[in-house]
Amino acid sequence: MMKNDRIDHIIDEIIDQYAFADTSQRPWIIGFSGGKDSTVLLTLVWIALLKIRELPNPFQLRRPIHVVCNDTMVENPIITEYVFEVLNTIEKAAKAQDLPIFIKTTTPKLEDSFWVNVLGKGYPVPNNLFRFCTEKLKIKPTSKFILDQLDEMGEAIVLIGTRLDESASRAKSIKKHEIKGKRLSKHPLNPNTYTYAPIIELHLEEIWYIINSFPSPWGFDNKRLFQIYSDASADDYECPTVVTDKSHASCGQSRFGCWVCTVVKEDKSMRALIRNGFEWLQPLLTYRNELNHGRNISENRRTERRNGQNAVDETGRNQGNYTDAYRAKMLRSLLETQKLIQEARPHIELITSQELIAIQVTWYRDGIFDYKVSEIFSKVYGREISVDNMKFKEKIFLEDICKNNPKDYQLINDLLSLQKSKTILMNNYGLQSDLENRLMSFVNEKK
């Protein structure tokens, strides 16, 4: 199927590992971000499975493969929407082709979410010396899923899309954990877990060659992925690729991550997206820069940490958690940013109602009574906090129906939220009156 010898060799190796070298039924777990490397990894595994199907018994498809996508809840919205579509397509195609591929999306626990930590507990946003986000938003949710698989099967193999030519530090980390002469390496965090990196030797040009030259085995248009990278490429992040037509003259090497990321000095990917036609993302970049700027201002920080330890440095600058006033200020700014974004994309939520409630609970526990989340929300939106009632797929569907009348989207969402809030309280008393009041408010807004 593939003419490139190196790629053929990788597929043959995957077949051998799946069907011959390991006779157990240890599940394979593929971390899927929707980016170029994880897309290529899943593509080659998928092709290998189709080839295994052609083999005589007993080497049939028996080992489950879990495609796990971790949603940090603060991903770049462009990537979130793209990955959602891709995962839906993968799930349908796997069923249609009768392959043992299963989709799982993980999210952080509510108390570990970015906004509960930053705006609730007052953690300063991450930098190179303080990166609570990696552990709470990425490692813990995925590790829990892996441990759940271990409970069932005893062992698991995690397939990773890391490559040696990504960076010197990444190559050093890979070498540290590898078992010489073996395909599988010990997982650095989870016991009874091994890692397998089939595309470790591939170069960037070969990654783009696969994406641009061969159709997705699950039937998705890979040109969309290429276009996202191209749109997000800053001037100094362009990279050559193996071209297959004139439109593939160059591609982006930009890394996609959380839109709030303050570990990097500048979000070049977001800036490039805005420059290339996604102007509606500008409020996100503005807010991210505001977070970054306000991080080390002494007036925004307390004199102690959450454990009561003194946090004033030798120069007299406060280095503790964020002050009450700064948390409230940045919550209001976040909600104002969300409101601006929703004028272009009504379905996008930067912070969930569950997080807002958790922030309020955290403030009470911290003795913060001068500021109330509900009042801040009401000042921004002119209404009470809604109890969210729709999943992401339903939100996109509703937005499409209401694309010519964005306010209709909010009305329907509010009515559904009112109904759910009464259900949660196990009491429908006053529901009809509440619905009528919301409808009357909507009519008055139209006048």
More confident residue, 286 or 234: 286
Which of 43-57, 89-103, 169-183, 389-403 has the least mean pLDDT? 169-183
**Closest residue by Cα to residue 419 from 406, 436, 402, 403:** 436
Do 203 and 325 belong together in one domain? no
For residue 294, what are the contacts with CB-CB under 8 A and spacing of at least 6? 300, 326, 330
- The predicted structure's pLDDT at residue 417: 60
User: Do 331 and 121 touch, CB atoms closer than 8 A?
Assistant: no
Once rounded to an integer, what is the mean pLDDT over residues 71-88? 95
Contacts of 178 (CB under 8 A, 6+ apart): 185
Residue 12 domain-assigned (yes or no): yes
* pLDDT > 80? residue 366: yes
Whether pLDDT at 421 is above 80: no
Asked whether the predicted pLDDT for residue 70 surpasses 70, the reply is: yes
Tens digits of residue pLDDT in 287-329: 999 999 999 999 999 999 998 899 999 999 999 999 999 999 9
Residue 232 belongs to a domain:
no
pLDDT at residue 252 in the model: 41
Whole-angstrom distance, CA of residue 338 vs CA of residue 77: 12
pLDDT value of position 237: 39
pLDDT of residue 447: 60
The three state secondary structure string of 117-154 is HHHHCCCCCCECCECHHHHHHHHHHHHHHHHHHHHHHC
Higher pLDDT, 14 or 190: 14
Q: Where are the beta strands (DSSP E) in 121-268?
A: 156-159, 184-186, 193-196, 238-239, 251-252
Average pLDDT, the chain: 84
217 and 99 assigned to the same domain:
yes
Do 41 and 53 lie in one domain? The reply is yes
Which is more confidently placed, 187 or 17? 17
| Closest of 41, 42, 50, 40 to residue 15, by C-alpha | 50
Q: Is the pLDDT of residue 356 over 60?
A: yes
Q: Are residues 183 and 164 in the same domain?
A: yes
Bridge-based pairing state of the strands 156-159 and 28-31: parallel
Residue 52 lies in a domain: yes
| Percent of the chain with pLDDT strictly greater than 90 | 61
pLDDT at residue number 248 = 36
Whether 338 and 393 map to the same domain: the answer is: no
Q: Are 222 and 39 in contact (CB under 8 A)?
A: yes
Both 11 and 113 in a single domain?
A: yes
286 in a domain, yes or no?
no
Give a yes or no: residue 117 inside a domain: yes
Identify whether the C-beta of residue 114 lies closer than 8 Å to the C-beta of residue 258.
yes
Confidence of residue 94 (pLDDT cuts 50, 70, 90): very high
Same-domain status, 33 and 142? yes
Q: End of a domain among 170, 191, 226?
A: 226
Query: In the predicted model, is pLDDT for residue 122 greater than 90?
Result: yes
Is the predicted pLDDT of residue 278 greater than 80, yes or no?
yes
Residue 123 lies in a domain: yes
pLDDT tens figures, 148-179 = 887 777 889 999 999 987 655 444 544 544 44
Instruction: Please check whether residues 211 and 99 belong to one and the same domain.
Output: yes
Domain boundary among the residues 385, 413, 430 is at: 385
* Residue 110 and residue 172 in one domain: yes
What pLDDT digit, counting tens, does each position of 215-244 carry?
Answer: 999 999 999 999 999 998 864 433 333 333
Instruction: Indicate whether 401 belongs to any domain.
Output: yes
Structure tokens at 441: 């408010």
Residue 242: per-residue pLDDT: 33
In a shared domain, residues 52 and 141: yes
Q: Is 354 a domain residue?
A: yes
Domain boundary among 342, 364, 385: 385
Which DSSP letter does residue 126 get? Answer: P
User: In which band, very low, low, confident or very high, does the pLDDT at 405 lie, cut at 50, 70 and 90?
Assistant: confident
Q: Is the pLDDT of residue 334 over 60?
A: yes
What is the dihedral sign for C-alpha 413, 373, 71, 108? negative
User: Which residue range is the domain that position 199 belongs to?
Assistant: 5-226
**Statement to judge: residues 30 and 121 lie in one domain:** yes
Q: Note if the bond before 406 is cis, omega within 30 degrees.
A: no
Please tell me what DSSP assigns to residue 67: E
Place of tokens 């000095």: 265
Domains of the chain: total? 3
| Residue with more model confidence, 246 or 99 | 99
pTM over 0.85: no
Angstrom CA distances, 324 to 297, 315, 377, 442, stand at: 14, 23, 16, 34
CA pseudo-torsion sign 230, 231, 232, 235: positive
Task: Kindly report, residue by residue over 127-153, the tens digit of the pLDDT.
Answer: 988 889 999 999 999 998 988 887 777
Of all residues in the chain, what percent carry a pLDDT higher than 70?
81
pLDDT band at 426 (very low <50, low <70, confident <90, very high): very low
368 or 391, which is more confident? 368
- Together in a domain, 439 and 359: no
More confident residue, 58 or 326: 326
Tokens of 383: 């209404």
- Check residue 216 and give its pLDDT: 96
Q: Which residue would you say has higher pLDDT here, 263 or 182?
A: 263
Give the pLDDT of residue 361. Answer: 87
